[in-house]
Amino acid sequence: MDLLRLVLLLRGTPVDLYDYNLTRDDLQMSIKIVLYRQSSGPSFFYGFTCYSNGLCDFGLFIFQLIEDMKSVSPVSVWSANHGKLMEDTAQLLLTEEGNLVLLGSNGNKIWSTDTADRRRSAAGLNLTEAGNVVLYDRSNAIISQSFNHPADYFLPGQVLHPGMKLTATSPTPDGRAPVYTFAVEDRVGFVASVTTRGSPQTYYKTSDVSKMTSDIGQVAAFYTNGRFGEFVLPTTSLAQFIRLSSDGHLGLYVHDGNYSFNFKDVLTDRIGYCGYPLVCGTYGICSEASMSRQCLCPIETGYFKEIKERQPENGCNASTSISCDSPNHTFAEIKNIYYFAFSCDIRADIPNTTIEICKEACLIVLMFLVGTFGIFARCKVKADDVEDDDPNLPGLQITRFCYEDLKAMTEDFTVKLGEGGFGSVFLGTLPSGIRIAVKRLDGSGQIKKSFLVEAETIGAINHVNLVRLLGYCAEKSLRLLVYEYMCNGSLDKWIFHKVEEFDICWQVRRKIILNIAKGL
Q: Residue 432, Cα to own-chain centre: how many angstroms?
A: 19
Phi, psi of 378, rounded to the nearest 5 degrees = -125, 110
**At 435, which helix (H) or strand (E)?**
strand 435-441
In 3D, which of 162, 149, 216, 152 has the Cα closest to residue 188?
162
Residue 228: predicted pLDDT: 96
According to DSSP, the residues that pair with 44 across neighbouring strands are: 37, 62
221 contacts 147 by C-beta, under 8 angstroms: no
Residue 400: predicted pLDDT: 80
Rounded Cα distance, 345 and 144, in Å: 45
In 3D, which of 475, 470, 492, 471 has the Cα closest to residue 421?
492
100 contacts 124 by C-beta, under 8 angstroms: no
**At 44, which helix (H) or strand (E)?**
strand 42-51
423-429: strand order across its sheet: 399-400, 469-475, 478-484, 435-441, 423-429, 416-419
| CA dihedral sign of residues 107, 112, 114, 119 | negative
> 439 labelled as ligand-binding?
yes
Domain ranges of the chain: 5-148, 153-271, 285-385, 399-484
Rounded Cα distance, 111 and 103, in Å: 7
Angle, vertex CA 385, rays to CA 382 and CA 387, nearest 5: 120
Residue 234: predicted pLDDT: 94
Which amino acid appears at position 57 of this protein? D
| pTM of this structure | 0.64
Residue 133: predicted pLDDT: 93
Rounded Cα distance, 89 and 92, in Å: 10
Rounded Cα distance, 166 and 250, in Å: 10
pLDDT in tens, the chain (520 residues): 232 333 333 333 334 455 555 545 566 778 888 888 988 889 999 988 888 788 888 999 999 887 766 667 889 999 888 777 888 888 888 776 777 888 888 888 888 888 776 566 677 889 999 999 998 888 888 888 999 999 999 999 999 999 999 999 876 655 567 899 999 998 889 999 998 766 788 999 998 888 898 877 889 999 999 999 999 999 999 999 999 999 999 999 999 888 789 999 999 988 988 889 888 888 888 887 666 778 888 876 667 888 888 888 888 887 776 665 565 666 767 777 777 776 544 444 455 666 776 666 565 444 333 333 333 333 344 444 444 445 555 555 677 888 888 988 898 898 888 876 577 889 998 876 778 889 888 765 556 666 766 666 665 565 556 777 888 888 877 888 888 887 766 666 666 555 555 566 666 666 776 776 666 5
Rounded Cα distance, 203 and 192, in Å: 6
**In the CATH hierarchy, which top-level class contains the domain 399-484?**
alpha beta
The secondary structure of residue 323, as a DSSP letter, is -
CB within 8 Å of 426: residues ≥ 6 apart: 410, 413, 414, 415, 416, 417, 437, 438, 439, 440
Residue 16: predicted pLDDT: 46
Residue 182: predicted pLDDT: 97
Pick the CATH number of 5-148 from 3.40.1710, 2.90.10, 2.20.130, 1.10.10: 2.90.10
Instruction: Return the CA Rg of the chain.
Output: 30
Helices (H), 377-498: 403-409, 447-459, 491-495
Rounded Cα distance, 122 and 116, in Å: 9
